[in-house]
């Protein structure tokens, strides 16, 4: 009996470990935990034309859009006007990256790093593509999601004061993932409506987002 329990425990442990190890922490080969230069990040994501440390509009220059659309939407409009760029903390790719079988689903990508190590990857896309993206997430990261639903999420357009009520779905990966090269681990989650305010960029009024975040060892 003891031997049987030991065998079952070992089998369960191996299965759990394998399941965790089989879940990656990357988007298109760029993984949290990796140490990559901005040039390497952009190259891996297929971006050939981008700016380094561009001069961003001042707060005063951006204030009309902030007052009209809100801070987040104003920042997105700014980034779309600048185009792909990197500084000493992040790479932002508002356009130029796509996913899907035909590569016809446009996404915006944000990659944050600290001391050269990638700490977070955010992939935003139009909410109309949510149902098409879900099978891609299941295939790559596994159907191991904790699903939470909010049937009464209120979204507001700050410009027109118009509001909509939607059902928000949030997926949190139960086991998380692992960077197979560095052994760093990550949290993975996605939601079909990212924030409570309308967006005002070419991705559309409503954005979905997929996030991979490094689990810090600094504790």
- Using an 8 Å Cβ cutoff, are 146 and 176 in contact? no
Q: How far apart are alpha carbons 141 and 135 in whole angstroms?
A: 10
Q: Where are the domains of the chain?
A: 2-143+175-214
Q: How far apart are alpha carbons 61 and 16 in whole angstroms?
A: 52
Say what the pLDDT of residue 219 is. Answer: 67
Helix axes 71-82, 59-69, angle to 10 degrees: 120
Residue 209: CB atoms within 10 Å: 19
- Using an 8 Å Cβ cutoff, are 203 and 122 in contact? no
Say what the pLDDT of residue 135 is. Answer: 95
3-state secondary structure of 68: helix
All residue ranges of the chain with pLDDT < 50 are 1-18
In the chain, % of residues over pLDDT 70: 90
The sign of the torsion formed by the CA atoms of 43, 46, 52, 53 equals negative
User: What are 146-170's pLDDT values in tens digits?
Assistant: 999 999 999 999 999 999 999 999 9
Say what the pLDDT of residue 21 is. Answer: 54
Burial of 184 by CB count in 10 Å (0-12 exposed, 13-18 middle, 19+ buried)?
buried
Say what the pLDDT of residue 1 is. Answer: 45
């Amino acid at each position: 009996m003891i031997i049987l329990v030991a065998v079952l425990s070992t089998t369960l442990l191996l299965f759990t470990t394998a399941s965790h190890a089989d879940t990656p922490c990357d988007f298109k080969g760029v993984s949290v935990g990796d140490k990559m230069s901005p040039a390497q990040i952009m190259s891996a994501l297929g971006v050939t034309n981008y700016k380094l440390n561009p001069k961003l509009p001042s707060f005063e220059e951006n204030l009309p859009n902030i007052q009209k659309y809100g801070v987040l939407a104003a920042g997105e409009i700014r980034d779309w006007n600048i185009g792909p760029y990197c500084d000493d903390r992040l790479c932002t790719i508002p356009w130029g990256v796509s996913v899907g079988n035909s590569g016809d689903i446009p996404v915006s990508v944000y990659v944050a790093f600290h001391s050269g190590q990638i700490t977070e990857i955010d992939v935003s896309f139009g909410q109309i593509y949510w149902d098409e993206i879900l099978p891609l997430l299941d295939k790559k990261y596994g159907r191991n999601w904790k699903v939470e639903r909010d049937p009464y999420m209120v979204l507001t357009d700050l410009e027109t004061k118009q509001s909509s009520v939607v059902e928000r779905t949030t997926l949190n990966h139960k086991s998380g993932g692992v960077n197979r090269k560095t052994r760093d681990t990550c949290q993975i989650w996605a939601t079909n409506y990212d924030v409570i305010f309308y967006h005002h960029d070419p991705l559309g009024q409503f954005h979905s987002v997929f996030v991979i975040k490094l689990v810090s060892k600094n504790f």
